Chains A and B, each alone.
Chain A
Amino acid sequence: MKYLDEYRDPLLARRLLDELREVATAPWTIMEVCGGQTHTIVRQGIDELLPAGIRMIHGPGCPVCVTPLAMVDKAVAIAARPQVTFTSYGDMLRVPGSTGDLLGVKARGGDVRVVYSPLDAVRIAEAHPDRQVVFFAVGFETTAPANAMAVLHAAALELANFSVLVSHVLVPPAMTAILDAPDNEVRGFLAAGHVCAVMGYTEYEPIAARYRVPIVVTGFEPLDLIEGILMTVRQLESGRAEVENQYARAVRRTGNTAARDAIQQVFTVTDRTWRGIGEIPASGLALAPRYAAYDAERRFAVDHVGTGEHPACIAGDILRGTKLPVDCAAYGTACTPRTPLGAPMVSAEGTCAAFFSAGRRPSTVGSP
């Protein structure tokens, strides 16, 4: 076992894997929906250490990757306006839109800035009342509390030159969309620990019950993942379908109530298109009507002039878990983290980038 000696506690890793081998009598397919977890699984070769028949599918756990093309196009169009200072998390800059990325806007003289926190974008607006400062508010539930507070802070300061381009996505509706697909093979989920640190895990309980799938809230350290997989397989083998919490070190059942309150105050649930997947009902957050004045889409009417994805990119299949990066003809050749054709190769949280940085070779390896 080539990887085990790299674990924090190799003996414990071996014991958990031995136990998993004993417990698993049937083949099971389990999906993780967290880019951090995907990275750990691929880097540590956990998918290759699992007993035969236990298969991990890497779900749409990368917020950069699922931000819809039309929204990236809108960001590029707004950022190109001369009066606009466009602010974004760093990993959105190189995400390809139909006609280029935000970095390209910057190269052509646009005022595009990376911020570490959305509050920094508010501060830029405070300091430059002559500029229209727009923040690209994307991400899963993990960034929603921060983005919500940026809007609340701007409202408290009565800033007229700050707005947000909102394209938030929610994990649980994506899980039900995957379970509803006719060709679904997923029998259990690892829920993302940090998403649940914000939201808690009560919203997963009806999904586990309705679809009869175990859902285990899991951390993203290697031992966490092996334990989360073991807990999932134990449930599957005994016919249980419950929400369990492997990551009690950081996650409470109710999550962070102050953060949830802020999300609920600022945002409203909306239908959302996921890049590569399509529209999923009630799977996103948009600004609540009372904060419509801060909506960049309203402030800067932008027509959609998209032409679509790169023809060689199979990001949709990757994000749905029906194909692996190594199945893609462009993987590692035309498409690398330096020359990404699709979003999953751009972000460190993307499945393609995780495979590439772990040195997984094209074709023969890992494909089912």
Chain B
Amino acid sequence: MCLGIPGRIVEVTAPADRPDLRTGVVDFDGIRRPVCLVYTPEARVGDYVIVHVGFAISRVDEDEAARTLAVIRAIPDALATELGPLGPEGARA
């Protein structure tokens, strides 16, 4: 869970019950996941961010995102493990 995965922000929203909790959707080379943007308030749609367990931590450029993703892809199961299951119910292990 320690690997940061780069992706591109495709949507920015604010949850109805927590308008202060800036949220978005990030595309990780075709896999989309909701991502909390509360730590990257400057990030906009189209920006690339490094995401740790559902939270964008730093902005990077497109080249950097591609390089980092190549490294992650070389680690067995890393992308699947880091991006985990989709949806609030969690995976039934």
Contact = CB atoms under 8 A, between A and B. Distances in A.
Contacts of A39: 74-75
Contact of B38 (A250, A258, A337): A258
A294 interface: no
A53 B34 CA distance: 47
B50 interface: yes
Interface string A29-67: 000001110011001000000000000000001111000
16 contacts: A36-B75, A61-B2, A90-B1, A113-B93, A114-B84, A117-B35, A123-B88, A124-B88, A142-B1, A142-B4, A149-B55, A221-B70, A256-B57, A259-B39, A337-B76, A349-B75
A156 B61 CA distance: 34
A132 B46 CA distance: 39
Given A89-B53, A145-B52, A35 B36 contact: no
Interface of B is mostly: loop
Given A36-B2, A43-B74, A89-B1, A198 B57 contact: yes
B85 to A, nearest CB: 6
A161 B9 CA distance: 32
Contacts of B87: 120
Contacts of B75: 36, 39, 43, 348-349, 357
A91 interface: yes
Contacts of B77: 348
Contacts of A197: 4, 50, 57-58
A60 B64 CA distance: 26
B17 A63 contact: no
B90 interface: yes
Interface residues of A, number: 64
Interface of A: 8, 34-36, 39-40, 43, 61-64, 87, 89-93, 102-103, 106, 112-121, 123-124, 127, 138-140, 142-143, 145-147, 149, 153, 156-157, 194, 197-198, 219-222, 249-251, 256, 258-259, 262, 337, 348-349, 353, 357
A87 B90 contact: yes
Given A127-B88, A153-B21, A103 B93 contact: yes
B76 A259 contact: no
Nearest to A43: B74
Interface string B63-76: 01001101110111
A64, A117, A156, A194: residue with the most chain B Cβ atoms closer than 10 Å: A117
A90 B52 CA distance: 14
Contacts of A220: 68, 71
A117 B58 contact: no
B18 A194 contact: no
Contacts of A194: 2-4, 50, 52, 57
Contact of A116 (B58, B60, B76, B84): B84
A273 B68 CA distance: 31
Contacts of A250: 50, 58, 60, 64
Nearest to B76: A357
B39 A156 contact: no
B84 to A, nearest CB: 3
A258 B1 contact: no
B93 A114 contact: yes
Nearest to A121: B90
A259 B90 contact: no
Contacts of B83: 116
B29 interface: no
Contacts of A357: 75-76
Contacts of B21: 149, 153
Contacts of B61: 249
A124 B81 contact: no
Interface string B1-30: 111100000000000011001000000000
A8 B54 contact: no
A361 B6 CA distance: 32
